[in-house]
A and B are shown apart, each in its own frame.
Chain A
């Protein structure tokens, strides 16, 4: 591609034609602050925090660096007095309609607005105080709340909901000073067809959107001597939690996480990965059964509750394609409160099942119908990775100084197939490992065609004389594209894996927020996924059907995959919902 030369603060740099001023500055070693800008998703140049001075031969003037294209020999000043003054004024104006309750804000310490105010030396946060709008907090959704009093109208949440997820249940209403982010006819989010994916939370620069926090009841359960408090952690949590403690993106903190959970007082520290292996046993069996007996195909995975809710709202005619398997979170709870409770002689009513998830839709999932194998909810509290980070901090645990510890037996035992559930393509690969073994007796491990962060992946595998066509999608706009192909008869897959969030759970709505200034240049999906694939590569057992604890569970309790008992405890049903 043709390159052009620009000068950023006197530093010459060569950039591809079409590069923005922001990208050129980054290449030259200068960061330009952004608030509204999300590469390829929200390129609206609206917030004006990214202004820079550029000279294209006619003197210097202020432009929005995030979207302004470089021209040959352009001179760029990213931090001139005029630039700094302009950014400072923009911040003062944003603050004039912001509630500024930083001390009681969930984002205090990792708020992008707070950091900018510090960086630009805001002296008087109330400089432009005057008439203001006061909004009620929207608490109607199961998984999160929206507080427009903190909203800075950057529209990142709007863009990610409409474009990345293809949903669009939130947007800007009214105009001018009265503009606010809300839903149609001011419905509460809980009444809309929001799927609970939480991608809006992950991209919010401030504390205007956050998960509902359930740390308090979990701590109370731990303090209650009557209760046996079990915890399970999803695969992707170990790939993200370290970021809460300043570790680089893509650091595996599995051992420290287990140690921290023990220090928090959980009675047993188990791994959702165990249930991921169990899911594979049930789902591979369901797949082979549907293929042999003419069941509904393509079979579509049901691990991602954001995806499942999306399917119910937007593709209700395809809910029969969904695997009847509960998600690993729910299977784990079901097994803990039946098999494990029986084995240990504990009344399931005294078990408090806590899950740590990279996900906000899991908070919705625990309240779904038909998720109570032991007559009590399979899972009592589902916390995000972020909530766990806050719990550890609040308990005064020196996370970085912890020595690695191991999960408890038997529900902490898992395989490499399970840990890759946290990345797009991982469930498919894990299922293929077991399905191919079941059909052929062979033990292939690597299915590189379904790995990687592309939104849609396809592959065909010849297994025992049959061409098995599979597809993988992550991010719901991609899922929509794929499903429309299936509905139009343009594709005839046998098995589809869909994860609601782009890149899969590693980039889930419950993972630590990464400042957009970093996200615009680093693919956090790939960095975090690497952690999981590295763990898989080093695991002694890499196929779900080889997990000894899973074998014992079937021998002692469930008999075989797809048995009557397995169906009662581990499978579920879906509903058809409307689009609001």
Chain B
């Protein structure tokens, strides 16, 4: 089975799998078990890649597609891990009118991933966020705890290079 969604190689451990199997064993015979199992699975692994969904499917008898449908329905579930650096671009009103949309597009192009995804080397993940309360610095993005403001599209390369160094 191949996922059409390429992502970072799966690095799940035996311990994580044992934890997940215990959760499944505890919940699988209750009605509506899938949601709590998925929530716990995301706690254990940080995200819900195909390998994790397959474990859930094999051990509950719930078809893979049904699980995938639920995972993609709810914004709280992620198919991708967080990278070493999470780049979060503010798309709140002030940042947006100051051109944050272009910066977001440039980042997607530069990193070769869409919002919500992680680069295959596990280095960067990209997400959009709403107002972070720094409208005076609009447009703003954060890389983990670092804040970058008054950005133009041309600043994107420099920021990435800084963390790639």
- On A, residues with C-beta under 8 Å from B are 162, 167-175, 182-188, 191-192, 578-580
Most chain A CB within a 10 A radius of its CB, from B50, B63, B64, B74 = B63
Interface positions of B from 67 to 81, Cβ below 8 Å from A: 67-69, 72-74
User: Would A167 and B5 count as touching, CB distance under 8 A?
Assistant: no
> What are 12 A-B pairs with beta-carbon distances under 8 A?
A167-B63, A171-B69, A173-B65, A173-B68, A173-B72, A173-B73, A175-B72, A182-B65, A183-B64, A185-B3, A185-B68, A187-B4
**A425 CB → nearest B CB, Å:** 29
- Add 8 more A-B contacts to A169-B65, A185-B4, A580-B64 (CB < 8 A): A162-B63, A170-B65, A171-B63, A173-B65, A174-B72, A183-B64, A578-B1, A579-B58
Distance of A580 Cα from B65 Cα, bound (Å)? 9
User: Would B67 and A184 count as touching, CB distance under 8 A?
Assistant: yes
Q: Which residues of B contact A168 (CB under 8 A)?
A: 63, 65-66
User: Given A175-B73, A579-B57 in contact, is the A186-B63 Cβ separation under 8 Å?
Assistant: no
Distance of A470 Cα from B52 Cα, bound (Å)? 41
Most chain A CB within a 10 A radius of its CB, from B1, B3, B5, B69 = B69
User: Would B2 and A187 count as touching, CB distance under 8 A?
Assistant: yes
Q: Which residue of A lies closest to B4 (CB)?
A: A186
Residue B88 lies at the interface, judged by CB distance under 8 Å to chain A: no
User: Would A185 and B73 count as touching, CB distance under 8 A?
Assistant: no
**B58 CB → nearest A CB, Å:** 8
Residue B119 lies at the interface, judged by CB distance under 8 Å to chain A: no
- Chain B facing A: main interface SS: helix
User: Given A162-B63, A183-B65, A185-B68 in contact, is the A174-B1 Cβ separation under 8 Å?
Assistant: no
Residue total for B at the interface (Cβ-Cβ under 8 A): 19
Distance of A559 Cα from B110 Cα, bound (Å)? 72
Residue B42 lies at the interface, judged by CB distance under 8 Å to chain A: no
Most chain A CB within a 10 A radius of its CB, from B5, B50, B57, B64 = B64
**A250 CB → nearest B CB, Å:** 35
- On B, residues with C-beta under 8 Å from A are 1-5, 50, 53, 57-58, 63-69, 72-74
Distance of A188 Cα from B53 Cα, bound (Å)? 17
Distance of A167 Cα from B61 Cα, bound (Å)? 10
User: Given A167-B63, A579-B57 in contact, is the A187-B3 Cβ separation under 8 Å?
Assistant: yes
User: Would A187 and B1 count as touching, CB distance under 8 A?
Assistant: yes
Distance of A171 Cα from B2 Cα, bound (Å)? 18
Distance of A184 Cα from B69 Cα, bound (Å)? 7
User: Would A184 and B73 count as touching, CB distance under 8 A?
Assistant: no
User: Would B69 and A185 count as touching, CB distance under 8 A?
Assistant: no
Q: Which residues of B contact A578 (CB under 8 A)?
A: 1
Distance of A191 Cα from B4 Cα, bound (Å)? 11
Q: Which residue of B lies closest to A183 (CB)?
A: B65
User: Would A162 and B66 count as touching, CB distance under 8 A?
Assistant: yes
Q: Which of B3, B50, B69 contacts A173 (CB 8 A)?
A: B69
Distance of A182 Cα from B5 Cα, bound (Å)? 13
Distance of A168 Cα from B68 Cα, bound (Å)? 11
**B2 CB → nearest A CB, Å:** 7
User: Would A191 and B72 count as touching, CB distance under 8 A?
Assistant: no
Q: Which residue of B lies closest to A178 (CB)?
A: B72
Q: Which residues of B contact A182 (CB under 8 A)?
A: 65
Distance of A173 Cα from B73 Cα, bound (Å)? 7
Q: Which residues of A contact B53 (CB under 8 A)?
A: 184-185
Q: Which residue of A lies closest to B74 (CB)?
A: A175
Distance of A385 Cα from B65 Cα, bound (Å)? 30
**B34 CB → nearest A CB, Å:** 13
Q: Which residues of B contact A187 (CB under 8 A)?
A: 1-4
Distance of A7 Cα from B59 Cα, bound (Å)? 51
**B126 CB → nearest A CB, Å:** 18
User: Given A173-B69, A191-B1 in contact, is the A185-B63 Cβ separation under 8 Å?
Assistant: no
Q: Which of A172, A174, A184 contacts B64 (CB 8 A)?
A: A184
Distance of A171 Cα from B65 Cα, bound (Å)? 6
Distance of A186 Cα from B2 Cα, bound (Å)? 9
User: Given A187-B2, A191-B2 in contact, is the A169-B63 Cβ separation under 8 Å?
Assistant: yes
Q: Which residues of B contact A162 (CB under 8 A)?
A: 63, 66
**A209 CB → nearest B CB, Å:** 15
Q: Which residues of B contact A174 (CB under 8 A)?
A: 72-73
Q: Which residue of A lies closest to B57 (CB)?
A: A579
Distance of A192 Cα from B68 Cα, bound (Å)? 13
**A72 CB → nearest B CB, Å:** 33
**B18 CB → nearest A CB, Å:** 22
Q: Which residue of B lies closest to A186 (CB)?
A: B4
**B11 CB → nearest A CB, Å:** 18
User: Would B69 and A172 count as touching, CB distance under 8 A?
Assistant: yes
User: Given A167-B63, A168-B63, A175-B73 in contact, is the A580-B68 Cβ separation under 8 Å?
Assistant: no
Distance of A369 Cα from B66 Cα, bound (Å)? 31
**A352 CB → nearest B CB, Å:** 35
**5 nearest A-B residue pairs (beta carbon):** A168-B63, A184-B64, A186-B4, A184-B68, A185-B3
Q: Which residues of B contact A183 (CB under 8 A)?
A: 64-65, 68
Q: Which residues of B contact A169 (CB under 8 A)?
A: 63-65
Q: Which residues of B contact A580 (CB under 8 A)?
A: 1, 64
User: Would B66 and A171 count as touching, CB distance under 8 A?
Assistant: yes
Q: Which residues of B contact A175 (CB under 8 A)?
A: 72-74
Distance of A185 Cα from B2 Cα, bound (Å)? 8
Distance of A114 Cα from B65 Cα, bound (Å)? 30
Most chain B CB within a 10 A radius of its CB, from A171, A183, A578 = A171
Distance of A188 Cα from B3 Cα, bound (Å)? 9
**B3 CB → nearest A CB, Å:** 4
**A84 CB → nearest B CB, Å:** 33
Q: Which residues of A contact B50 (CB under 8 A)?
A: 184-185
**B115 CB → nearest A CB, Å:** 13
Distance of A187 Cα from B5 Cα, bound (Å)? 9
Q: Which residues of A contact B68 (CB under 8 A)?
A: 171, 173, 183-185
Distance of A174 Cα from B30 Cα, bound (Å)? 25
**B40 CB → nearest A CB, Å:** 20
